[in-house]
Amino acid sequence: MNILMLGWELPPHNSGGLGVACYYLARSLARQGSSIDFVVPYSAHHPDSEFMTIHSATRLDPLQRNGLNAYDSDAAEHTSLDKADVNDLQSMRGVQKRYVQYVEQLLQKVTPDVIHAHDWLTMEAGIHAKRLTNAPLVVHVHATEFDRSGERSGNPIVHEIEQQALLIADRIIAVSAITKAIIVQQYNIPADKVEVVHNAIDAEQLSNHTYDLRTYQYLELLRSEGYTVAATITRFTIQKGLTHFMRAAARACEKYDKLVFLLAGDGEQRDELIQLAAEYGIADKVFFTGFVRGKQWRDAYSVADIFVMSSVSEPFGLTALEAAHHDSALIISKQSGVGEVLDSIFRYDFWDTDRLADQMIAIATSPSLSTTLRRNVAREYTRLSWDDVAQKCIAVYQASRIGVAV
């Protein structure tokens, strides 16, 4: 099967999980005999990608593209594609228009059996490609504008693009049942048009590094004194629910004081969170690392006894699997999609701070609970496989082609 895959990034030029997911999905599809043309909006070398043909829609280098910030839709100007200036590659809309034009040209050379577009960034290109080729369009939703904007309403242009593409798409893939529910409820899409295909994790995706005890030496000392480290590694945005986490931390300390909290990352809520910790009187128990990468990032997983994903809305949440790999016990909000593929975790509603506190204390005070959770979740994340994801996608392609002349 010939697949035209429309993406925004691929490793190592990715700024988040979208590129990683696209890479491993494409690789497994290729292994199962598919031929893939993958379009990205920048020019760069992609190592270990011989299994597909990568097409660059612009001459931008990846860093310039990153400057457009794919994960913050606020940065997208409120411009419709018609009015966007194709020569203005400083703006998201300009790049997107160029991307669409590139795909139109590409379709004079390649004939896809199916068009697979990832997230709002490439949805317009997907719609154009469908019109030109009459090939079925599969839209893969890794996150919606509702997830990105947290409790705010979001960018109306982005919402409009999503709405249109979800209507025109022949089939929709959602990365979790949570995301499917948003697509059905917020975009009024019939449920039977949306297939849930959870992400996976590949062993080689996981960082196999040697933990350096010195990175978080102070926390390690506390651990040796019997403290338990509850950590989260994330962007500090409303979507991540960290103010609730902070409240739970304070509640937990009322009952059990050998707990410390590691908040690794950075973002717009940083100052608010620091202030909250002080207000709750637990400032000495909360550790803010600032933005972490490389060794500091990897070691943050290793120092954590408990990994908390406190998201208000998380389509999937790959970091939880990374934490499972690093032998942490997981507590995941019911609003996070990754919880759908794991059994051996604690779940709570993101606003239920007493519940989260209770769960952290239980793990901290019961070695058998902690051991059982960690041992069992390790077995569960290793069951996930990109080959299974690819198989499910192929089934979706086949369903999308029913009724289409082939």
Partner 1 sequence: MSQKSVVLYLHVHQPYRVRPYTVFETSQSHDYFNAPSDLSSIDNERLFQKVADKSYRPMNAKLLELLHTHPDFKLSLSITGTFLEQAEQWAPDVLDGFKQLVATGRVEILAETYYHSLAFYYSQTEFIRQVELHSKKINELFGVTPSVFRGTELAYDNSVAQWAEAAGYSGILAEGWDGILDWRSPGYVYRPVGTESIGLLLKNYHLSDDIAFRFSNRAWSEWPLTADKFTHWLHSTDIDAPLVNLFMDYETFGEHQWSDTGIFDFFGNFISTWCDLTDTPFLTVSDAITRHQSVGELDVPHTVTWADSERDLSAWTGNDMQREALRHLYALEHDVIRTDDPQLIADWRKLQASDHVYYMSTKWLSDGDVHAYFSPYDSPYDAFLYYINVIRDLRWRLMKHHNIGRLHG
The backbone torsions φ and ψ at residue 194, rounded to the nearest 5 degrees and listed phi first, read -110, 125
Stretch that binds partner 1, among 16-24, 188-196, 230-238, 350-358 (CB under 8 A): 350-358
Q: How far is the CB of 343 from partner 1 (least distance, A)?
A: 5
Distances (CA, A) of 339 to 237, 291, 314: 20, 26, 10
Q: Binder to partner 1 among 373, 389, 393, 394 (CB under 8 A)?
A: 373
Q: How far is the CB of 362 from partner 1 (least distance, A)?
A: 4
Residue 111 interacting with partner 1 (CB under 8 A): no
d(CA 98, CA 125): 10
The backbone torsions φ and ψ at residue 205, rounded to the nearest 5 degrees and listed phi first, read -70, -30
* Residue 156 neighbours by CB distance under 10 Å: 10
Q: How far is the CB of 222 from partner 1 (least distance, A)?
A: 17
Q: Residues 308, 245: contact at Cβ < 8 Å?
A: yes
Q: Residues 125, 95: contact at Cβ < 8 Å?
A: no
Q: Binder to partner 1 among 106, 292, 369, 399 (CB under 8 A)?
A: 369
Residue 376 interacting with partner 1 (CB under 8 A): yes
Stretch that binds partner 1, among 11-19, 208-216, 235-243, 367-375 (CB under 8 A): 367-375
Q: Based on CB atoms, which residue is closest to partner 1, 47 or 367?
A: 367
d(CA 406, CA 404): 6
Residue 382 interacting with partner 1 (CB under 8 A): no
With CA atoms as reference, report the closest residue to 310 among 360, 356, 343, 379: 356
Structure tokens at 63: 């860093």
Q: Based on CB atoms, which residue is closest to partner 1, 78 or 383?
A: 383
Q: Binder to partner 1 among 362, 378, 384, 399 (CB under 8 A)?
A: 362
Q: What angle do CA 148, 123, 80 make, to 5 degrees?
A: 85
Q: Binder to partner 1 among 144, 179, 239, 359 (CB under 8 A)?
A: 359
Between residue 236 and residue 255, which ones bind partner 1 under the rule CB under 8 A? 251, 254-255
Residue 225 interacting with partner 1 (CB under 8 A): no
Q: Binder to partner 1 among 72, 327, 340, 358 (CB under 8 A)?
A: 358
Stretch that binds partner 1, among 74-82, 99-107, 216-224, 352-360 (CB under 8 A): 352-360
d(CA 406, CA 396): 16
Which residue carries 């990374």 as its tokens? 322
Residue 399 interacting with partner 1 (CB under 8 A): no
Between residue 255 and residue 284, which ones bind partner 1 under the rule CB under 8 A? 255-256
Calculate Rg over the CA atoms of the chain: 22
Structure tokens at 360: 């952290």
Interface map 315-344 toward partner 1 (x if CB under 8 A): ----------------------------xx
Q: Binder to partner 1 among 270, 347, 392, 401 (CB under 8 A)?
A: 347
Exposed/middle/buried for 19, CB within 10 Å: 0-12, 13-18, 19+? buried
Q: Based on CB atoms, which residue is closest to partner 1, 111 or 372?
A: 372
d(CA 203, CA 36): 23
Q: Binder to partner 1 among 70, 345, 393, 394 (CB under 8 A)?
A: 345
Beta strands 306-309 and 35-40: pairing type? Answer: unpaired
Stretch that binds partner 1, among 97-105, 144-152, 215-223, 370-378 (CB under 8 A): 370-378
Q: Based on CB atoms, which residue is closest to partner 1, 6 or 253?
A: 253
d(CA 390, CA 372): 31
Structure tokens at 340: 């759908």
- Which run of H or of E encompasses 262? strand 259-264
Q: How far is the CB of 320 from partner 1 (least distance, A)?
A: 15
Q: Binder to partner 1 among 361, 389, 390, 396 (CB under 8 A)?
A: 361
Residue 385 interacting with partner 1 (CB under 8 A): no
Q: Binder to partner 1 among 132, 354, 402, 404 (CB under 8 A)?
A: 354
d(CA 104, CA 106): 5
Residue 212 interacting with partner 1 (CB under 8 A): no
Structure tokens at 189: 């899409």
Structure tokens at 196: 């849930």
Residues that bind partner 1 (CB under 8 A): 251, 254-256, 343-347, 354-355, 357-359, 361-362, 365-369, 371-373, 376, 379-380, 383
